[in-house]
């Protein structure tokens, strides 16, 4: 962002380049049947159970809550990657409409996978197709190469090419997906979002934007991506742990600094700014913060700064720290009700 065109306490809107809005209801969820010992078990015992429990009503309020918390954090654009295998049809509309109501920019995709058989993969592809064909702002989602047959990968890539959009895919997040580099080489394009990349080799040969999610990678104990080594444009995401991008910037800096004492906040700020290559419109959004000046070195160690107002496409969506278009208390109350439904459903899924 060009700080010369901003007041001392202003930034452009921040971009979350990888989110899972359906995870907003997950906080406080029941413990898994047993303690996961590996990343694969975290997926199987936590997230793949959660997505099977979702219905469209849960998704609506989860997306509204996630969108609300995003604008309250100064984030004005989200790339959402969604999966709800028992509520696929119409799910991307639910997310897009929820975000539109709150007033945030969103790019939606459904994560195609063969985990639920050929019919599940087909329905995921159809949801991406339906949403894009009706003019939705989106990409084609793929969960990850290791959960897809090659025919499914090729079908998703073809669908993205037909609609002139990129592919949004988890890549080499854990060791289970270490072969992703071989399966995706020759398929990936500059328009793709390559999420994580923890286990990509330096000479990976892929193209696209690398989306770095340091807090999630630490939480899942999958390792450190060291994104600067990969030779790709970098943006920051959260992998569903909210959308407070200044928080993610600080975590990204601390994690990079732990690995390399010469890393400076300017490098990590460039990663945060990488989101503007994906959503150029967000550059013209405005966030007024509670302190000044806005400087990467100050923000790397400043944990109490907060947005006072947020403007998206010329409309003030946060004023004096409060959302203007929606009733925040209602969203939080309805989301809490849906979280209880979700937790009850989880008790029946093993």
From first to last of the 350 residues of the chain, give the pLDDT tens digit: 454 589 999 999 999 999 999 999 999 999 999 999 999 999 999 999 999 999 999 999 999 999 999 999 999 999 999 999 999 999 999 999 999 999 999 999 999 999 999 999 999 999 999 999 999 999 999 999 999 999 999 999 999 999 999 999 999 999 999 999 999 999 999 999 999 999 999 999 999 999 999 999 999 999 999 999 999 999 999 999 999 999 999 999 999 999 999 999 999 999 999 999 999 999 999 999 999 999 999 999 999 999 999 999 999 999 999 999 999 999 999 999 999 999 999 999 88
Token look-up 């295998």 returns 85
* Nearest Cα to Cα of residue 80 among 200, 213, 225, 237: 237
Do 35 and 29 form a contact (C-beta atoms < 8 A)? no
Give dist(CA 304, CA 313) in Å, integer: 26
Do 284 and 12 form a contact (C-beta atoms < 8 A)? yes
Do 214 and 252 form a contact (C-beta atoms < 8 A)? yes
Give dist(CA 112, CA 95) in Å, integer: 17
Residue-level pLDDT at 350: 81
Residue-level pLDDT at 2: 52
Geometric angle at alpha carbon 171, from 165 and 175, rounded to 5°: 165
Do 49 and 80 form a contact (C-beta atoms < 8 A)? no
* Nearest Cα to Cα of residue 308 among 128, 85, 73: 73
Do 235 and 212 form a contact (C-beta atoms < 8 A)? yes
**Cβ atoms within 10 Å, residue 196:** 30
> Which CATH superfamily does the domain covering 3-346 fall into?
Metal-dependent hydrolases (3.20.20.140)
Q: Does an H or E element contain 316, and which?
A: strand 315-319
Contacts of 92 (CB under 8 A, 6+ apart): 82, 108, 109, 110, 127, 128, 130, 131, 136, 138
């Amino acid at each position: 962002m060009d700080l010369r065109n901003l007041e001392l306490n202003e930034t452009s809107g921040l971009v979350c380049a990888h989110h899972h809005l359906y995870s907003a209801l997950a906080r406080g969820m029941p413990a898994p049947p047993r303690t996961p010992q590996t990343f694969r078990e975290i997926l199987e015992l936590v997230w793949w159970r959660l997505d099977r429990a979702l219905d469209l009503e849960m998704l609506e309020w989860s997306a509204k809550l996630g969108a609300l918390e995003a604008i309250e954090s100064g984030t004005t654009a989200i790339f959402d990657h969604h999966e709800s295998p028992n509520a696929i049809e119409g799910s991307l509309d639910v997310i897009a409409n929820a975000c539109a109501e709150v007033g945030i920019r969103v790019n939606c995709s459904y994560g195609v996978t063969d985990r639920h058989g050929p019919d599940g993969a087909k329905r995921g592809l159809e949801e991406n197709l339906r949403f894009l064909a009706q003019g939705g702002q989106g990409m084609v989602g793929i969960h990850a190469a290791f959960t897809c047959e090659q025919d499914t990968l090729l079908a998703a890539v073809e669908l993205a090419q037909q609609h002139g959009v990129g592919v949004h895919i988890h890549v080499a997040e854990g060791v289970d997906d270490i072969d992703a580099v071989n399966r995706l080489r020759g398929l990936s394009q500059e328009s793709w979002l390559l999420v994580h990349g923890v286990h990509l080799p330096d000479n990976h040969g892929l193209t696209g934007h690398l989306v770095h999610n340091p807090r999630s990678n630490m939480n899942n104990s999958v390792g450190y991506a060291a994104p600067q080594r990969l030779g790709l444009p970098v943006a920051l995401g959260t992998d569903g742990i909210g959308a407070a991008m200044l928080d993610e910037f600080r975590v990204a800096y601390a994690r990079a600094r732990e690995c390399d004492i010469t890393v400076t906040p300017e490098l990590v700020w460039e990663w945060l700014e990488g989101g503007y290559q994906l959503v150029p419109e967000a550059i013209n959004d405005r966030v007024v913060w509670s302190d000044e000046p806005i400087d990467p070195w100050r923000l790397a160690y400043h944990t109490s700064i907060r947005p006072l107002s947020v403007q998206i496409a010329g409309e003030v969506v946060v004023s004096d720290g409060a959302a203007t278009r929606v009733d925040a208390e209602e969203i939080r109350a309805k989301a809490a009700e849906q979280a209880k439904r979700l937790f009850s459903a989880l008790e029946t899924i093993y």
